[in-house]
Structure 1
Amino acid sequence: MNKKSAAREFCFQYFFHMQLPIFKELREESANSNEAIISSISQFKESTDTLLEKNLFQYVVGQVENTLKHYGELEEKIEQYLTNWKVNRLSKVDHTVLLLAFSELMYHKDTPPKVVINEFVELAKKYGAKESASFVNGVIDKFAKSEIL
């Protein structure tokens, strides 16, 4: 696994963890404070013994910051590309993967969309249900073809 893939996986794990109801207050605080985000990510990083180079730590901070800042907009975008589904019915894994994939495609345009899609489909394969990868791939691909590519 390359270093950027490891950073995406760490980001997924962190954001999955942050979506638990007990972290609602911290999520709201972090959405308004870069310092709170950095502190929260640093604490999570220590608890997982994850090694991230400085530039990859900054990628994670940027990804989390953009996802929190644009959370409502991202939810609306995801909902727009779901067929016969509602965001609140998605599994937490699929929801987290879609949030981070849409966020990266919309706000971190330095990576080719096909790479981003592949990386997040791989996370869905690793952490999601049997059908998660194909479901996530379809939603992200439809969004990317319509708005990014």
Structure 2
Amino acid sequence: MDTHHLPRLHARARRLTRSPQDAEDLCHEVCLAILEREATGGRIDRPLPYMMTALRHAAANRARSVAHETLMEIDFEPQVEDATLACLCAEVLTKLDTLPKSDRALLQRVAFEGVTPSELAEEMGVPVGTIMSRLARARTRLRNVLGITSVF
């Protein structure tokens, strides 16, 4: 297994999860999957995209299983943090509508539809870096509209 991509894998896993432990677990799952594939004679021509895709799938599977478990343990008593989060989400959606159409469309495709920047770049016929720059500017505009001065 090619280990020089591991720092990027860890960074991406950290962005996909809520805790360092969950990120570490996801990285282990991906590394295990790669090692199993290599052990069975499978060849990976482009390891970094393969790792990132496997990581995204592992995170999605984990989120689905957590959502399923949560549905099984429904608590009918509303929680204050749930109401606060709902209000914040409503505010973000309202402010999203105030952004220029191109920014709004780009953010919606990535956030709500799960389209990756590379898929958008291919679809739009522009380099991935261009999409990443546009996303960064759109996120900055949204933060400004929301009055958020810092990110973590």
Relative to the length of structure 2, the TM-score reads 0.28
Rg (Cα) greater in structure = 2
Relative to its length, the structure with more helix (as a share) is 1
TM-score by length of 1: 0.28
